[in-house]
Chain A
């Protein structure tokens, strides 16, 4: 489809509808929290949560290396525990911001502080998380490597704090929290064979083990939970990894693996523009022929969650890499960079091509609560499920898309390395006279 027709066809009215819904539904969260409190009282026997089940874990990063290690459990909705796990299904089921917040606020985080290297007192003599399968951290690690929710009982020290606490773009907004005293498994967790293999191999570097699991069909969400629990890597290197860091580590590692796979692949042969819109975020992905090059440019509207003052100017951030990747962590765009890059690389690897790629992320003021970086990953991944618009040249595509952006083409060119110019290579000139 020609790019102008393609843009014409994109539904603009959806946005207004979402805005209306978002306003209405934000009140629903308050009601939801009250309901949670009632359910919680029902589930508590003395100071123990009985008949609980935990589909996933959360490892905090405050006071590193003595960090809070948490078991997440849907209180009063145990049968649907699977649905509380953040993954691509949330996108596929079209969760809106309030759906995400309901899931998150319905998930009790029972946590206990542990040292990343030596989670139990017994293991301080040989500090390694590797052998820790007892105690609270042991239970938490079992939950992390299991491929389905694990039944357990959690002893609590106090009543949970139900405060809805806005997290950050990478970490997830947390729901209610409680301090745990202990936890006991009430069933034998099911651990998939490839995970056992990576767990038992004590001389396998974490990057290689992550890639192995990915190739065996595990999605980044599962790998990140396993990495978080210190269950990957060479024995001495294993430690608990804060969830926020592990999400980015897995996106980056799997991304590097995929980038290696397309390193010598032929280039795509036309300029394509793919678009997607989800939870108040709009994505434009421009692919152009040539060697791999990638950039994420974010435009955050005043009044959106990361740029809350409605009087402020639009906020822009960007980060990019060339054919050989980056040698340093991105200064701007953070985890969103690696999540978006993963989505693009998965697409290119699946078609066996390389390309130059510019991802433009426009955050509107409909994005009133952060849902987590999975939103970026899934929006980019799924952008390639629809149709695309074709353009003659990369710069023509960018100019056309720029007419739909909240910034001018000139401002975009100042901020974006790719919009300013695409890196050519010397072979393009070797026959030129």
Chain B
């Protein structure tokens, strides 16, 4: 059983943050909210999303599992204006999702969850550095780096105590330093890793500009990026494997 009403904005934010990595996903319809975990086919980027029942206008579920084609569902959700409500109801018999937006009815065929790539185990990483900054600073860094290169280095200078972003291109460079004062919080630790902008650009699209974003970093280790959405009732954690410079 699944029946929920949610604002278009909240649903769209949730779907967008997953669709940047995968085309299809499994959605766990838990009693206390939705959960999605997915990894891209190359096993480079991972997303772990939860949307609490409190984020919905109304929410009833009892632990079901559905498989959806994300671009389909995004297209439908896109039909609603951001203030509008979207009503979702699962038909257990036909295995279809009924979606209603202000009188518009859409019946979405679901995908057999067993046919969707297995959900990843989240690596349990102990990352020494933690940077808390505004979504807008992530956006600035990624956008500028993308002008000169296909990859970006993120790190922490332990002696000078700042977080930095470096991008080296064919001819041009981008460098950004954010000190304790520019950041919301900074936990100093040894950190320097290179990441593909292809992935970071996509993840960046899903990060609200006015939200608090936490980056956990290490030396040639994956970055863990997490932030809230939907008035704090939704949480997204991304994990992205680095490009290895040393061996």
Contacts and interface: CB of A to CB of B under 8 A. Distances in A.
Given A421-B243, A423-B241, A425-B241, A291 B170 contact: no
B101 interface: no
A414 B169 contact: yes
Chain B interface, >50% SS class = loop
Nearest to B193: A421
Interface range for B: 20 to 34
Interface string A368-409: 000000000000000000000000111110000000000000
Interface in B120-146: 120-121, 123-126
Interface in B180-199: 194, 196, 198
Nearest to A393: B247
Contacts of A414: 168-171
B219 to A, nearest CB: 12
B146 to A, nearest CB: 13
Given A414-B168, A423-B42, A425-B42, A322 B245 contact: no
Contacts of B43: 291, 425-427
B243 A429 contact: no
A423 B196 contact: yes
Closest 3 CB pairs of A and B: A421-B243, A323-B42, A393-B247
Contacts of A423: 42, 44, 196, 241, 243-244
Nearest to B40: A324
A395 B247 contact: yes
Contacts of A1: none
B247 A394 contact: yes
A417 B169 CA distance: 10
A316 interface: yes
Given A414-B169, A432-B125, A322 B242 contact: no
Interface range for A: 20 to 34
Interface of B: 39-46, 120-121, 123-126, 150-151, 168-171, 194, 196, 198, 221-222, 239, 241-247
A420 interface: yes
A430 B239 CA distance: 11
Nearest to A413: B168
A433 interface: yes
Contact of A420 (B42, B125, B194, B241): B194
A265 interface: no
A426 B247 contact: no
A423 B133 CA distance: 26
Contacts of A413: 168
Interface string A141-170: 000000000000000000000000000000
A301 B202 CA distance: 37
A426 B245 contact: no
A273 to B, nearest CB: 15
